Structure 1
Amino acid sequence: MNLESPEIYDPLLVIMLAAMASYVSRGLGALLSGRLDPDGSVVEWITCITYALMAGLVVRMLILPIGALTATPDWVRLVAAGVGLLIFFVFRKNVGLGVAAGSATLALLTW
């Protein structure tokens, strides 16, 4: 079996591999959570990586959208990102509220 064979892209195999990756990382997190200092450098590093991944995905969706997002005008995506960023800062850097506000704005402007 090589990367060009169709068997490697079997949906069940892909789902199983994704589930394994998810559960292994969750298990490691559960095992190490009591030993990590919430204000320590490891947690700070993980937080930085998380923010970087989120920022990279947002920029990717704004500049080079794929799928249904390509049908939305650039200004709609930029306004939604701006609203999400504004809410993020207004509510003391709450990522969840920022993402929810940006997503809701995008949904409302494309309705």
Structure 2
Amino acid sequence: MSELNPWLMLVGAAGVTFLMRALGVVASGRLDVNGALFDWIRCVAYALLAALISRMIFLPSGGLAETPLWARLVAVALALAAFYGTRKNLFFGTASGFAAFIALLYLMQAF
């Protein structure tokens, strides 16, 4: 690999990035955010997020795999209860689930 190759890759990557951004600017004026295309994109995004969260709960990897399934499910249930109990406050629901999970792990170590 010559000394020129990393620079060529950097310029190529920057060029492609700026090209895609320019196409986004051109196309943004013509897109309807309330149209069927954006509804489909929104559905796919939610489906991907749900799949990733489900994978973290039921098929975890790394250190999370060493925790019991019941602890993960209890933390998720408490997070959902906090989320809906606070009128869909995402920060409070996420923080509550995290705190519940840490508390469960701490209590498991204590007993």
Counterpart of 2:63 (choices 61, 68, 92) is 68
Give the Å deviation of 1:52: 0.6
Q: Deviations over 1:75-106 (max 9, x none)?
A: 11001211233344445556565444433432
Match of 1:109 in 2: 104
Counterpart of 2:21 (choices 16, 27, 37) is 27
Distance 2:86 2:29 in 1: 29
Counterpart of 1:58 (choices 23, 41, 53) is 53
TM-score by length of 1: 0.57
Q: State the identity %.
A: 42
Give the Å deviation of 1:57: 1.0
TM-score by length of 2: 0.57
Give me the CA root mean square deviation: 3.4
Unaligned runs of 5+ in 2: 1-9, 107-111
Amino acid at match of 2:40: W
Provide closer, same or farther for how the CA distance between residues 94 and 49 of structure 1 changes in structure 2, counting only shifts above 3 A: farther
Within 5 A, what are the aligned runs for 1:11-22?
none
Distance 1:28 1:90 in 2: 43
